[in-house]
Copies of this chain bind each other. A is one copy, B any other.
Amino acid sequence: MLNQIVGKHAESKKLESNILQISQDAKLMKAKHADVIDATVGMLHHEEGNVFKYQVVEDLLHHLSDAEIYHYAPVRGTNAFSEGVVNWVFGNHTQTIKEHFHYSVIPTTGGSGAISNTFYNFNDFGQKVLIANHYWTPYENFAFEANIELTTFQMYDDSDCFNIEDFRAKAMDLAHKQKRLCVLLNDPCNNPTGLCMSPDDWKAVVSVLNQVADEDIPVILIHDIAYVDYQLKDPQYSRETFLSYLDFHPNILAVVVFSGSKTFSLYGFRIGAQIGISKSKDIIDQFVRVGDYSVRGRFSSVSQPGMNIIGKIFTDPHYQNQFSQELIHARKLLKDRAILFMEEADKQGLKILPYCGGFFISIITQNNNIFKDLVQEHVFVIQMKKLIRIAISSLKLQDIPRLVSILRRHI
């Protein structure tokens, strides 16, 4: 009988499904069969099948100095990166946010690293984070690895709108039970559903958080904005959400999760950031203290070339302008696919969840076997609880009518 080699908390760790692995399987089948449709991984691709890279990113990568490529990155990040990320994320509202809040930026290994660190630092072991019932499954892995759990509220009400009533009920209940409320919202352009919460939804959410904070219960809002630059409307519209922050109770900590992977197609570099925002200086001091520690205590520092590319784009108007122009093309690629998908779905009678932007369209299904059924038809999607997620980011326009028809048959 073998002794217990792994730690007690790691005994039941097991990767159940892995989106990146399924994507590898799709690639393998595609090498054999030309008709394979791979709608698995959230990486933006051109119609021709190659990844959408930003030329300004590419040019900068090949013109960084040796120090900008090879040296260790500073744990706290360069000023160009940190201030640049803040300016980009908050857009027209940056000054307003800076006037009302203390803030700090911790560079992380992608958005994933930011969420993982925050889960670990801002919960006691065994506590639960509140999250919508449709969610990107790696959140489960981040939670289990941090020795915490997830608990859900219903994302939609009967009209397919954000279910503020269920959010309020579950938030109050959890806050009272465990004397801590840590909420994760992935908005705008939710992965997997494509939902964008309205300004009124956000006002209502903030009101619930304030009610909890009024009871002197710690409140942490993790705001994952990975797809902030890819909504159907003008990206500035995505930033309106942050105005709801102005009403925050002084003791609330918001951690805004920025993804260099999505905004710059730097998926393979692992660069992102967590932006801590609070009206309390003490809370931001604590955010910095534990965040810095986790960077050093988990991987020492982040991607130096990734950090420098982003720092340059965000601080040089020429590069930023070039990037913004390219982003328009990226958004158009997505928009054309989304519109065709929605038209085809409408025509063929396939009910999809309301989509307002981002890399994914989702469909509720009762078919528990749908992943395998679709693979038989040479279609790869990601199956989550009661839905399938279609990565329009990597779909070709010409495949969409056929895909909708196949989905229609198996849903």
Residues of A within 8 A of B (CB): 2-10, 13-15, 18, 20-21, 24, 41, 43, 50-51, 53, 61-62, 66-67, 69-76, 108-110, 112-113, 116, 120-125, 127, 138, 141-142, 144-146, 216-218, 220, 251, 253, 261, 265-270, 280, 282-283, 286, 289-290, 292-294, 296-305
Contact = CB atoms under 8 A, between A and B. Distances in A.
Contact of A267 (B2, B70, B293): B70
A143 to B, nearest CB: 8
Contacts of A286: 5-6
B293 A251 contact: no
Contacts of A123: 7
A302 B3 CA distance: 31
A398 B338 CA distance: 64
Nearest to A140: B297
B116 A299 contact: yes
7 contacts: A7-B127, A15-B292, A18-B296, A51-B70, A73-B268, A109-B300, A116-B298
B265 A125 contact: no
Given A298-B145, A303-B303, A72 B41 contact: yes
A2 B70 contact: no
A286 B10 CA distance: 10
Nearest to A62: B62
A51 B269 CA distance: 21
Given A280-B2, A290-B10, A293-B14, A300 B70 contact: no
Chain B CB count within 10 A is highest, among A18, A71, A216, A296, for A296
Contacts of A9: 124-125
B66 A51 contact: yes
A146 B145 CA distance: 11
A43 B124 CA distance: 37
Contacts of A280: 2
Contact of A218 (B3, B24, B109, B268): B3
A253 B4 CA distance: 12
Contacts of A120: 7, 10
A15 to B, nearest CB: 6
A291 B7 CA distance: 12
B296 A138 contact: yes
Contacts of A51: 66-67, 70-71
B304 A145 contact: no
Contact of A297 (B69, B142, B293): B142
Contacts of A303: 268-270, 303
Contacts of A110: 299-300
A113 B71 CA distance: 17
A41 B265 CA distance: 31
B74 A24 contact: yes
Contacts of A299: 108-110, 112-113, 116, 270, 299
A112 B72 contact: no
Contact of A6 (B108, B112, B265, B290): B290
A138 B298 CA distance: 10
A326 to B, nearest CB: 14
A269 B67 contact: no
A141 B74 contact: no
A277 B310 CA distance: 39
Contact of A14 (B41, B53, B218, B289): B289
Contact of A75 (B20, B142, B269, B305): B20
